[in-house]
Amino acid sequence: MEASLLIRKLITEPALPPCKDRCKLKNLEGGWDVVKFSDMYYATAAGTNTIIKVYKNLQSKRYLYGANIGELIFDLAKHGFVRVHESHVINPICVASYKNEVFKLVMTDGELIPVSKPYRMLINNLYHEIKVPSRSGKLPGV
C-alpha cells in the first residue's frame, strides 16, 4: 500500500472499538491514546468528525474521531452514553445537574450541553424522576 494512502486511511478511519472497556483515539496533537469509555465525558459534532472530551488524572483532553456523531452513537450507546442533541452525546455519570428552565445539562467539568426538544422528555425522566447519582457524588438536578 502506498505510504500516502496508508496515512490517509489512518487519519480518516474511525478507531472504535475493539476493546470492551476502552478504545484507541487520535489526540489533537496527531498521536494515538488508549482511552477508557468511563473517562469520556461527552462528544460534540465537528462537521464530518467528532470531538470527544476525556478527563483522566484530573486533566482534560480532546480527541478527534474520524466519523460523524451519528455513526459514533452506535458504539458509545453500548457503554451507556446518551444522545441529548443532534450535535451532542453525553456520559450520564458525568452530569452534575440539569437546568430544566434553559434545557441544558451541566457537566461535572462545568461545561453546558444543550438538550434539544426531541430529547427533553428522556432527560427529564432520567434526571428528575430516577435521580441517578453522578460521578461528582451529587444527585443530578438537585
Whether 54 and 125 have beta carbons less than 8 Å apart is answered as no
CATH superfamily of the domain spanning 3-129? LytTr DNA-binding domain (2.40.50.1020)
Please report where in the chains the cell 474511525 appears, as a residue: 14
Query: In the chain, what are the domain boundaries?
Result: 3-129
What is the reported pLDDT for 43? 95
Per residue in 23-74, pLDDT (tens digit) is 888 888 888 999 999 999 999 999 999 999 998 877 889 998 888 898 888 8
**Is residue 10's pLDDT more than 50?**
no
Whole-number Å distance between alpha carbons of 25 and 70: 17
Per residue in 67-98, pLDDT (tens digit) is 889 888 888 999 999 999 999 999 998 988 88
Residues contacting residue 1 through CB under 8 Å, at least 6 positions apart: 9
**Is residue 128's pLDDT more than 70?**
no
